[in-house]
Structure 1
């Protein structure tokens, strides 16, 4: 009975969190023409479109963006140091760090992009005369050389926003400011991702959050497929986009089935868990590289030619996994226990802040 109560409490906490996020993002009044144009055409996001929610942007414009409203850190705002408020944070260190990241990623991309073209994967001579395991290795290296292009532009956009004072997201446990409110990627989490979902969660983060909030959390029927199809339409009209995201649906379902059915057998010891992480990292990198080839080639002919050269092996394997391994629906599952603990700590933190504000007013 106790287990059931905890389970129900986690479900309630999970859906309360979803409702709170949706309420925070809701726009209570019609924006004026100036506000609308400012949000869509501001100099920080005009090249790539708005990279944040409207309410976050207006909080930045109105100067209320430094108030701790929706922080995920349990000890935000320097609570560990016994402080109720901290001085206005500086983004200097984060901007310098992100500009250095831009320089490194740009240098890597310019050095490798000509040496490892993706188009070589569909070259007849390469396909016919190269062993399959070397084709797999080349595909991974080609995609690895291509990603720094996105790392550069997204990190540069993040640095520009931070330099303008936009992007503050509360404080870390040690009281240092966080400037990742509108960050679009986490490079190390991408390169060392051990699941398809983990890779996608750290890639193009702001678009993923938008897709999750407007589609996944609202779609009553097969939200995973609906979200991938909406993402394909959002990217544009090239056929390669649709081939990529249709493949992504099958990949995600197969990865979810493997995680639910296979992963528990590797959690008995640290060494088994390490083996599982290495294997899933390898599988994730190969699956991602295989999936996004049409995203790079764009046209139907070259994309299908690549998949035919691989005999559609990962498509068939994923379909087999989905058919054989059962998987529970995730729509009604609560978050991990650590998320529930974070929610409880966040509530305690908000209560502490309210008490501190009341004391300040009384003083």
Structure 2
């Protein structure tokens, strides 16, 4: 039963767990040089890749090698564009051959899974190099200034970043600067500073230990695995299109079943991503400063926030806490840089990156409509419920229920993969959420991002004029609030 539920993911999970002992072999930066740490991380990564995927692991080298060649020979001005096309194109080629030549319909942790993470790393690095070497400092956003790479990585640094043993199997993606800081031992420097920027001697006696967080995350993995194995065997998702089930149960039972089946499916992802996070933390990667009580935070490369997902009151809140590193990648390489229809372009890129199964595209097309409707509701309705705590609670309950139903409805094709079963499900629901969302988009006005950007300078200018004509000294406070 376990093999049927996980498929080849079970084998990959076992091998991922075997990564834990390797963390103990990885020497602290105070005991060895960055060069040795790069070499060890890369060699162990290649060993794990060969152990798990055999000669298919050569695709990791081919993809990385092609992209590095593009970086070296095409020049900084257009390097990021060519790297994006070449890397994503090679990933798509491998996904097509895997899906339609080898095992169509078998959604498994095959060799294209790690390639998806490598694709994120290569394209992110290409854009970061372009920002660091091509753009002026004043033209970069604050996040882009931090991520910008000021020199071309060596081949060893590049391969270590893409194929290190901590993230070769399940990720998650991280920025190049964060990874290099970890390799060189600069990852704990923020601990010396308090929130006000002053040096705090309390926490600089020794490096923060990840043991507490690693144990906590391993326990979370065990709980997630147990929930998945117990509930999903009782409530598999494909039953939502079973003719007998649909004919013998009223619609409200089908709605309840859909929610429970999707609730039971999510712990599979909680397990994999939390395990990957724990592995990186065990190696000393992922430190993110200190909490208010002085305890270290190890969530710099965490891929999800489970409570925020389960209690999300908006579609955006759900997506912001689900597969966080992928969402950041989509935001940095697409949403913030696409001049036209960034929402649609981001969902399209996400679908292409995930693979070639038609269900992915149905999910992300639906996601565009749901996102637009959720945005319209928030901009036009939310302010009417902020007058009292009771109204706010009512609004939160309604939006929580709506968000969970919208998520479940949207991702069914992502699970079913094929067109026929996906359309059968939507038709059994009379495409009701599609129709409701389209109606909301048509009825409720929402300003586009470009309109907001055009209005922002004028509002700032008006604020400055008010400050100049104001007799009091409150303008600085207003500007800070703006």
TM range (shorter): 0.7 to 0.9
What residue in structure 1 maps to residue 134 of structure 2? none
State yes or no: 1:126 paired with 2:245. yes
What residue in structure 2 maps to residue 103 of structure 1? 222
State yes or no: 1:28 paired with 2:147. no
What residue in structure 2 maps to residue 255 of structure 1? 374
State yes or no: 1:116 paired with 2:235. yes
Matches within 5 A, 1:323-342: 323-330=442-449, 332=452
Matches within 5 A, 1:132-171: 132-171=251-290
1: CA distance, partners of 2:385 / 2:172: 42
Greater Cα offset, 20-29 or 277-286: 20-29
Task: State TM-score, norm by structure 2.
Answer: 0.63
Q: Indicate if the aligned counterparts of 1:76 and 1:170 stay in contact, CA closer than 8 A.
A: no
State yes or no: 1:75 paired with 2:184. no
Root-mean-square deviation (CA), in Å?
2.6
Q: Give the SS at the match of 1:262.
A: helix
Q: Indicate if the aligned counterparts of 1:76 and 1:172 stay in contact, CA closer than 8 A.
A: no
What residue in structure 1 maps to residue 163 of structure 2? 41
Q: Indicate if the aligned counterparts of 1:68 and 1:77 stay in contact, CA closer than 8 A.
A: no
The verdict on how the C-alpha distance between 1:309 and 1:266 changes in structure 2, with shifts beyond 3 A counting, is same
Deviations 1:241-297 (A, max 9, x none): 110011000000000000111111100100000000000000000000000000000
Deviations 1:82-106 (A, max 9, x none): 7585632111110011011001001
Q: Indicate if the aligned counterparts of 2:170 and 2:273 stay in contact, CA closer than 8 A.
A: no
Q: Give the SS at the match of 1:87.
A: coil
State yes or no: 1:185 paired with 2:307. no
1: CA distance, partners of 2:330 / 2:177: 17
Cα deviation for residue 19 of structure 1 reads: 1.0
1: CA distance, partners of 2:428 / 2:334: 35
Matches within 5 A, 1:168-317: 168-317=287-436
Cα deviation for residue 329 of structure 1 reads: 2.5
Cα deviation for residue 30 of structure 1 reads: 1.8
Q: Give the SS at the match of 2:190.
A: coil
What residue in structure 2 maps to residue 52 of structure 1? 174
Q: Indicate if the aligned counterparts of 1:78 and 1:86 stay in contact, CA closer than 8 A.
A: no
Cα deviation for residue 171 of structure 1 reads: 1.2
The verdict on how the C-alpha distance between 1:240 and 1:78 changes in structure 2, with shifts beyond 3 A counting, is farther
Q: Indicate if the aligned counterparts of 1:102 and 1:152 stay in contact, CA closer than 8 A.
A: yes
Cα deviation for residue 54 of structure 1 reads: 1.1
Cα deviation for residue 78 of structure 1 reads: 9.0
2: CA distance, partners of 1:49 / 1:144: 23
1: CA distance, partners of 2:344 / 2:285: 33
2: CA distance, partners of 1:55 / 1:41: 16
Q: Indicate if the aligned counterparts of 2:172 and 2:303 stay in contact, CA closer than 8 A.
A: no
Which structure shows the higher helix fraction? 2
Task: State TM-score, norm by structure 1.
Answer: 0.83
State yes or no: 1:89 paired with 2:208. yes
User: Structure 1 stretches (4+) deviating beyond 3 angstroms?
Assistant: 76-79, 81-87, 330-334
Q: Give the SS at the match of 2:233.
A: coil
The verdict on how the C-alpha distance between 1:243 and 1:296 changes in structure 2, with shifts beyond 3 A counting, is same
Cα deviation for residue 125 of structure 1 reads: 1.1
Cα deviation for residue 75 of structure 1 reads: 2.7
1: CA distance, partners of 2:422 / 2:205: 53
Larger RCO, structure (CA 8 Å, separation 6 or more): 1
Q: Indicate if the aligned counterparts of 1:119 and 1:297 stay in contact, CA closer than 8 A.
A: yes
Q: Unaligned stretches of 5+ in structure 1?
A: 1-15, 335-340, 346-363
2: CA distance, partners of 1:304 / 1:326: 30
Cα deviation for residue 48 of structure 1 reads: 2.5
What residue in structure 1 maps to residue 58 of structure 2? none
Q: Indicate if the aligned counterparts of 1:77 and 1:171 stay in contact, CA closer than 8 A.
A: no
Q: Give the SS at the match of 1:113.
A: helix
Cα deviation for residue 27 of structure 1 reads: 2.0
Q: Indicate if the aligned counterparts of 1:122 and 1:306 stay in contact, CA closer than 8 A.
A: yes
Q: Give the SS at the match of 2:208.
A: coil
The verdict on how the C-alpha distance between 1:218 and 1:188 changes in structure 2, with shifts beyond 3 A counting, is same
> How many correspondences in the alignment?
321
Q: Unaligned stretches of 5+ in structure 2?
A: 1-137, 457-476
Greater Cα offset, 110-119 or 275-284: 110-119
Cα deviation for residue 330 of structure 1 reads: 4.0
State yes or no: 1:66 paired with 2:66. no
